[in-house]
Amino acid sequence: MAHSSLLADLVELNEVLDADSAVDLEQRKQRDRAIGIDSQRYRNRPAAQVRAWLQQYRVTTAHENGLRSVRLYHLLCLVLVIAGLLAGWGLARTVLSYDGRQPINIVNAVVVLVLPQILLLLLWLLAMLPARLPLFSRTGAMPGFLNPGRLAAHLATVFGAKGRRGLSMLWDPEQAAILAPAARWLFSFWSQLFAFSFNVGALAAAFFLVTFSDLAFVWSTTLSISNEAFHQLLVSLSVPWSGLAPDAVPGLDLVAGSRYYRLDEGSLAGTAVLSPRQALELGQWWPFLIAAISTYGLLPRLLTLVISWYRLRFHLRKALCNLPGAPELLARMNSPLITTLAAEPEQAFAPATDHTARTPGNTHYALRCPVIHWSGVCGYPDEISRRLEAMGIEALDFLRAGGRQTTAQDIDLVTSLCKQKPQGIGILVKSWEPPLLDFLDFLRALRRECSAKTPLVILLWSGEDTVRAADLETWQATLAQLGDPDLHVEAVGQAA
Amino acid sequence: MSAPVFAIVGHPNKGKSSIVSTLSQDESVAISPLPGTTVDIRRYPMTVDGEVLYELIDTPGFQRARAALEWMRGHAGSAVERSDTVRRFVDEHRHDSLFSAECSLLEPVLAGAGILYVVDGSRPFGEEYEAEMEILRWTGQPSMALINMISDADYSADWNKALGQYFRIVRVFDAMTADFERRVQLLLAFGELREEWRGALEKAVHILREEQARRHTLAARVIAETLARTLTHVRSRRLTADEDMATARDTLLQEYKQDLVAMEQHCRDEVEQIYNHRKLERHEPRALLLDEDLFSQQTWRLFGLTRRQLVATGALGGAAAGSVIDLAVHGASLLLGSGLGAVAGGVSAWLTAERIANVRMLGHALGGKELSVGPMRNLNFPYVVLGRALLHWRMIEQRTHAYRGPLELTPRPEQVQLIDATTRRRFEKRFSRLRKRDNRRADLVASLALLIEQI
């Protein structure tokens, strides 16, 4: 898969994860696990898993920023290739220009076209040393200004999307801690692309000149270097290609024949005028020049270009898994989806809003009435009587209903009680037990059998404790559903 | 074999829904003091990638148990017919509003669900419970009684005696405070009801334990990520030509603080979501959030380092930097580099204890000026963020889904988790690298998360 699509994925993932953090986690868990199961074949390849996730995510969302970033990236690559070709072509044309008067100094040509490249290659090696080594992290940054990759980054910042939304996210300071290695290799890739194109341009120019013009090469020195010594140096330089292209290794005759002496008024050693054969021989340096540029310029740059491409891919993949939110995404994709939540929404419960059964506290009733123990309220009758009297209720009799009594017994009690036409009826209940429909049935029966105006006083009993406000509230709210204006709810107070 | 199903039944308002809410970790369960809040059954299956391991069913409470039992007694000839009589009762009253609660709760039991009968152990036993317990006995289904302790009083001994006559297994369980281990122990206890259910429940518990561990790891990672973000955050803005520098500086600093507060809030939201707490209300004075919360003096006193710890931490960083010189001269400096570095680091930490972050004025490449705040330089800050995050995390981890009160985030001194000197050194090493924007951020966050997990 091309690294340009990796780059697009990285830009998009960064954007998508940012937005996705606002989505409910449960939804994310369900969605991501489903995608995780679908992409089981990538199980041990986290970057591939993240990309598979993004692929599914894209179905529902636009992904223009990634494509735009890749377009910009390709454009910058093209600009660098063209710039490299032109620079290489231009420099080679300049160095190899020959108007028939002054032959080309082969040493100059090699020094200009090959030596700087070797030096720049050494700088590249220095820049690519591991940044984690404290000393190298500084030295590595030093040759940055020489890097055409950084120039491309400046162009991308000027022409691309701003901040973290485009290609420039790679060198955005906020993201530097995650994306710096990828950015470093992107710059390296760009610079090596330029350098490779430069060498192609230089070689193309050299071939062009060799093919379509008549070049003459010489060599010269101020030092007392013998032809043999210079030849030996050239043989050493030619070692890499001597096996493959022996014709590109200059012979001693060529070296001796092309030595240039200024004192001889610009003539070659011992020769006043060049014969056609000699002129032809002077052109025989070109295989050496081509081989030198190819070996010391083109091939190393091809190698560094491939290394940069490979490392860029590696770090882009790594960055995909390290973006904020990506490790969590992978965890969601690879963990079983466990749910313990309700399978369906709860039916709405509408509490009663009519609170007619509510009565203010501290009411004095002045009632003489029977009191029914509902469901076996515990307590001594004397104690209960005393506390009811404090509320103005004199208990004429204590009766039982609910609990172990049968519903038939309850009905009999209601019938006999109402026949006596009591002033009111007190019903003692446990304050902590909520009023059930069973109890509401009993109240309805009482109201049916007794006079509509007979006060029914529900007495909340809490033994030695004070009735809790929440319990009183519960009783009041529930009994309000009956809509009975003569139904009262009272908390039985503490003994004085 | 089908997955075990458990019906949570009982008297209204005795905590059935609370128990379901706690066991299912579902805060959507309606819990109210009013009887009849649960109007129909609701199913809570535990599924793993779609496979159901067990199912809990929340049911409405008994409303007319006496009348229902009277009907059943009137229609059952002998003990052999009791289960069929209950079935007949449900069949005949399914559409009768009088017994809708009883039919709803008995239906899943008659379909084979195990019975989990819930009572409130903090209130005395009463005779009104006998009818419902008798009906459940008549169903003939395996059953267990759960004594839920809703308030402080303890009547569990009386309840044990009464329940023991109807149920083979009786357990005490506090739905409001039960921690994770108690919850899974209760699930395992459900396996005692029927031998063939044990395997599924053991598997469920194993998976729940793994999930809990995953949550723990995930929450630690969220906190580590927040620490990294807050430490490395930078806010910058281009200045207009006529803008007052001091005002712009104050505004930007305030915005920078707001960013950090937002990051902390986001971290809390994430941690709460990890533990399925989505509707949580936090008690924090919103209006005072900036100056009285994350950056308040009280907060820094509680969660931050003391001056002494601060100096020690600064000295540690300085010594590490100075040791580079010692290493470079192969120790010929007699550790002078480390010593001087430690002194410089300590003094610097002392002097800059109150400073939040660097405020810098930068020349812009295309002209004009840019004001920039951050990254965080204060040595104390990450410890404040960490301390607060740990407190919040611990509260969330311990909180059951039945508890509906707000989360009180006003820290009390005893709640603050102290970090020992060794751990602090480990943290400082990572904080220091993050401050320097070390390229290995992902590794640093992972190792920070590991440290947080181990606290």
Angle of helix A299-322 versus helix A3-20 axis, rounded to 10: 20
B420's torsion region: left (phi>0), alpha (psi -120 to 50) or beta?
Answer: beta
Q: Which of A248, A264, A194, A478 is nearest to A356 (CA)?
A: A478
Distance of CA B343 to the CA centre of its chain: 43
Say how many C-beta atoms besides its own lie within 10 A of residue B141's C-beta. 21
Nearest-CA distance A342 → chain B (Å) = 4
Question: What secondary structure letter does DSSP report for A224?
Answer: -
Residue B286 lies in a domain: yes
Retrieve residue A367's tokens: 């009632």
Q: Which of A17, A184, A339 to mutate to test the interface with B (most CBs of B within 10 A)?
A: A339
Same domain, B233 and B286: yes
User: Within an 8 Å CB–CB cutoff, is residue B233 touching chain A?
Assistant: yes
Q: Is there a single domain that holds both residue B105 and residue B164?
A: yes
Contact A134 B23 (CB under 8 A): no
What pLDDT sits at residue B321?
65
In a domain, B93, yes or no: yes
- Give the 3-state secondary structure of residue A368: strand
Residue B341 within a domain: no
Alpha carbon distance A109, A95 (integer Å): 6
Residues of B in contact with A318 (CB under 8 A): 442
Q: Are residues B42 and B122 in the same domain?
A: yes
> Could you tell me if A25 lies within 8 Å of chain B, comparing CB atoms?
yes
Q: Structure pTM? A: 0.73
Asked whether residue B107 is domain-assigned, the answer is yes
Per the CB < 8 A criterion, the answer to whether A69 and A167 are in contact is yes
Residue B361's CB: how many other CB atoms inside 10 A? Answer: 12
Pairs across A and B, CB distance < 8 A:
170
Which residues on chain B are in Cβ contact (under 8 Å) with A322? Answer: 441-442
- Peptide bond preceding B375: is omega within 30 degrees of 0, i.e. cis? yes
* Residue in this structure with the two tokens 């680091």, named with its chain if needed: B345
Q: How far is A449 from chain B (nearest CA, A)?
A: 20
C-alpha distances in angstroms, A373 versus A370, A385, A458, A478, B324? 10, 12, 10, 19, 87
**Would the pLDDT of A111 be above 60?**
yes
Residue B17 lies in a domain: yes
Give start-end residues of each CATH 3.40.50.11460 domain in chain A: 367-491
Give how far B128 is from chain A: nearest CA, Å. Answer: 4
Two tokens, residue A117: 């490249």
Check residues A138 and B172 and name the one with the higher pLDDT.
B172
Paired tokens of A316? 């882009």
Are B128 and A403 in contact (CB < 8 Å)? yes
Question: Would you tell me how many other CB atoms lie within 10 Å of the CB of residue A412?
Answer: 13
β-strand pairing of B51-58 with B114-120 = unpaired
**Three-state secondary structure of B283-304:** ECCHHHHHHHHHCCHHHHHHHC
Comparing CB atoms, the residue among A176, A335, A436 nearest residue B437 is A176
Q: pLDDT digit string (tens) for A449-471? A: 988 888 999 999 888 888 888 88
B238 and B112 within one domain: no
Residues 16-55 of B with CB under 8 A from A: 23-26, 28-30, 32-40, 42-50
Rounded to a whole number, what is the distance in Å from the CA of B222 to chain A's nearest CA? 9
Same domain, B408 and B450: yes
Q: Which of B62, B207, B225 minimises the CB distance to A338?
A: B207
Contacts of B34 in chain A (CB under 8 A): 349, 351, 434, 474, 477-478
User: Above pLDDT 70, what percent of chain A?
Assistant: 81
Give the separation between CA B36 and CA A349, rounded to whole angstroms: 8
The chain-wide mean pLDDT, for chain A, equals 81
- A231-245 b/e (C-beta count within 10 Å ≥ 16 → b): beebeebbeebeeeb
Average pLDDT over residues B29-39: 65
Name which residue leads in pLDDT, A64 or B132.
B132
Number of Cβ atoms within 10 Å of the Cβ of A436: 25
Tell me if chain B has a CB within 8 Å of the CB of A432: yes
**Residue A489 to chain B, least CA–CA distance (Å):** 15
Largest Cα separation within chain A, whole Å, is 156
For B279-331, what is each residue's pLDDT tens digit?
777 766 443 333 445 555 555 555 555 666 666 666 666 676 666 666 666 66
Residues making up chain A, counted from first to last: 496
Q: Which residues touch A393 (CB under 8 Å, ≥6 apart)?
A: A365, A367, A369, A371, A426, A457, A459
Which site among A26, A151, A341 would you substitute to test the B interface, given the most B Cβ atoms closer than 10 Å to its Cβ? A341
Structure tokens at A157: 């910042």
Which residues lie across from A400 on neighbouring strands?
A: A373
Do B82 and B134 lie in one domain? The reply is yes
Distance from CA of B201 to the nearest CA of A (A): 13
Evaluate if residue B357 carries a pLDDT over 70.
no
Banded model confidence at residue B417, pLDDT cuts 50, 70, 90: low
A460 contact partners, CB below 8 Å, separation of at least 6: A429, A430, A431, A467, A471, A472, A475, A489, A490, A491, A492
- Residue A297 DSSP symbol: I
Cβ contact B90:B57 at 8 Å: no
Q: Which pLDDT does position A59 carry in this prediction?
A: 65
Domain of residue B172: give its range: 5-193
Pairing of strands B42-48, B51-58: antiparallel
- DSSP label at residue A260: B
Question: Is A465:A430 a contact under the CB 8 Å cutoff?
Answer: no
Rg over CA atoms, chain B = 30
Mind telling me how many Å the CA of B219 is from chain A's nearest CA? 10
Chain A contact for B13 (CB, 8 A cutoff): yes
Q: Is B375 helix (H, G, I), strand (E, B) or coil?
A: strand
State the total domains in chain B: 2
Write the CB contacts of B16 (distance below 8 Å, at least 6 apart in sequence).
Answer: B8, B9, B10, B38, B58, B59, B61, B118
Assigned token pair, B289: 């959030």
CA distance A381 to A401: 16
Report yes or no on B181 lying in a domain: yes
Which class in CATH covers the domain with range A367-491? alpha beta
Chain segment A346-362, per-residue pLDDT in tens = 665 555 555 544 455 55
Chain A CA closest to residue B102: A437
More confident residue, B384 or B306: B384
Query: Is B270 found in the same domain as B162?
Result: no
Distance between CA atoms of residues A141 and B253, nearest Å: 31
B329 touches A: beta carbon within 8 Å: no
Evaluate the CA torsion angle B76, B82, B85, B89 in order and state its sign.
Answer: positive
The better pLDDT of the pair A363, B207 is held by B207
**DSSP-assigned beta bridge partners for residue B46:** B54
Upper half-sphere CA count for residue A273 (Cβ side, 13 Å): 2
pLDDT, position A227: 84
Q: In angstroms, rounded to a whole number, what is the distance separating the alpha carbons of residues B314 and B98?
A: 75
CA angle A482, A483, A487 (to 5 degrees): 80
Do residue B59 and residue B138 come from a single domain? yes
> Which residues of chain A does B183 touch, with a Cβ-Cβ cutoff of 8 Å?
none
Q: Using H for helix, E for strand and C for coil, what is the string for A220-233?
A: CCCCCCCHHHHHHH
Please write the tens of the pLDDT for every residue from A168-192. Answer: 777 776 677 678 888 888 888 988 9
Provide the pLDDT for residue B290: 36
Of A375, A477, A478, the CB nearest to B127: A375
How far is C-alpha B346 from the chain's CA centre?
Answer: 38
Higher pLDDT, A143 or A240: A240
In a domain, B31, yes or no: yes
Of B35, B49, B218, the CB nearest to A436: B35
**Whole-number pLDDT of residue B352:** 62
Q: Chain A contact for B158, CB < 8 A?
A: no
Task: Flag the least confident range among A390-394, A397-401, A452-456, B277-281.
Answer: B277-281
A275-309 pLDDT, tens digit each? 666 667 777 888 888 999 999 999 999 999 999 99
Per-residue pLDDT tens for A41-63?
888 899 999 999 998 887 666 66
Last residue in a domain, options B159, B193, B227? B193
pLDDT for the residue B292:
45
Top residue of B47, B96, B222 to mutate, by most chain A CBs within 10 Å, is B47
Q: Would residue B146 count as lying in a domain? A: yes
The answer to whether A27 contacts chain B (CB < 8 Å) is no
B26 vs A132, A342, A375: nearest CB: A342
Residue B119 host element (H or E): strand B114-120
What does the H/E/C string look like for B25-44?
CCCCCCCCCCCCCCCCCEEE
Percent of chain B with pLDDT over 90: 39
Contact A433 B123 (CB under 8 A): yes
Are the beta carbons of B203 and B53 closer than 8 angstroms?
yes
The answer, for B66 touching chain A at a CB cutoff of 8 Å, is yes
A246 part of contact set with chain B, CB < 8 Å: no
Mean pLDDT of B194-203: 93
B78 pLDDT exceeds 90?
no
Same domain? For B96 and B143 the reply is yes
**Which ranges constitute the DSSP H helices of A323-433?**
326-334, 381-389, 407-419
Q: Is the pLDDT of residue A263 over 70?
A: no
* Rounded average pLDDT over B393-412: 79
A350 vs B: CB within 8 A: no
- Burial of residue B42 (CB within 10 Å: 0-12, 13-18, 19+) is buried
Residues B442 and B372 occupy one common structural domain: yes
Q: What is the ipTM of this complex?
A: 0.74
Query: What is chain B's mean pLDDT, rounded?
Result: 82
Q: Are B387 and B416 in contact (CB under 8 A)?
A: yes
Question: In this structure, are B223 and B188 located in the same domain?
Answer: no
At residue B404, what are phi and psi to the nearest 5 degrees?
-110, 5
One domain, residues B243 and B157: no
